[in-house]
Structure 1
């Protein structure tokens, strides 16, 4: 789990959603009323939110150059059901993509992805390469080649495993 600061803009929503599941412990905050309330979800909406979460995780693993940890519904197939609209600021004429319906989580995630695409930040949101983690994090490294959510935890574990393998 990351000690890093939250992702910028709408990517913070995507990061928070992916990080509702702690793979190592199995704890899923979407199982709690507080966790559902954080995303405006009812109990009936949780299965769709979990499908979205795992599709996002697979995409973030791809951003980091890793295959998904299991088969998932492609993110593009899910986001195709989230209509966006162009919102134009009356004062400065700037335009953004916004959800046509701001309620559903899928629509808010689609708008966040669109915003990140325009800002050039989408591929900086990654999932930790550690198989027991896959925590979402925003890669702020200059070269954009971060591999772990936390160098002190997941990175240190990976380096120690490699070191021990050499010694054996």
Structure 2
């Protein structure tokens, strides 16, 4: 839906996961083999990935100052099951949080969020205000007050609704 550029670093994974569901059309990329392969998911992992996706969406809505779209398992509870380790680069001594095991989507998401917290970018990943959208986008506005995934689509629709209501 959005023409915005992807979120930086590991947040692109989070953004991509949240955006596997097009709320307006109901199309869910996790229903397809290609969509699941993109995240390294087996068919039996889809229910957990969907739960994670919607918990992430609630967090991203909160970043934008919007109420939850539905009741979900709190993101912190889900992430507690995604073990991380401190990975130290022997060449330069730099350290990052990384998944304890390669593969599990939950651990990769937890590592991406942890890195975004360190970089100060986590709060800029948001979900669109439009109830028929809730698309994840990275807010690059100077003040960090973006409300829509796309000013040309969702923002224009909201402004038109307000104008017509007058």
TM-score (ref. length: structure 1): 0.98
1:92 equivalenced with 2:92 (yes/no): yes
CA drift of 1:52 comes to: 0.1
Distance in 2 (alpha carbons) for counterparts of 1:122 and 1:102: 22
Partner of 1:5: 5
Instruction: Output one character per residue of 1:63-94: Cα deviation in whole Å (capped at 9) or x when no partner.
Output: 00001110000000000011110011111111
Alignment of 1:34-113 (within 5 A): 34-113=34-113
Count of residue pairs the alignment pairs up: 166
What is the alpha-carbon root mean square deviation over aligned residues?
Answer: 0.5
TM-superposed CA distance for 1:102, in Å, is 1.8
- Deviation per CA, 1:117-160: give whole Å up to 9, x if none: 00000000000000000000000000000000000000000000
Distance 2:150 2:125 in 1: 14
Partner of 2:123: 123
Instruction: Tell me the equivalent position of 2:22.
Output: 22
Q: 2:87 aligns to what SS in structure 1? A: strand
> How many angstroms apart in 2 are the aligned matches of 1:88 and 1:106?
21
Tell me the secondary structure at the aligned position of residue 96 of structure 1.
Answer: strand
Measured in 1, the distance between the counterparts of 2:102 and 2:156 equals 41
Q: Secondary structure of 1:145's partner?
A: coil
Residue ranges of structure 1 left out of the alignment (5+ in a row): none
Question: Normalising by the residue count of structure 2, what TM-score does the alignment of the two structures yield?
Answer: 0.99
Structure 1 residue aligned with 2:138? 138
Runs of 4+ in 1 over 2 A off after TM superposition: none
CA deviation after TM superposition for structure 1 residue 7, in Å: 0.3
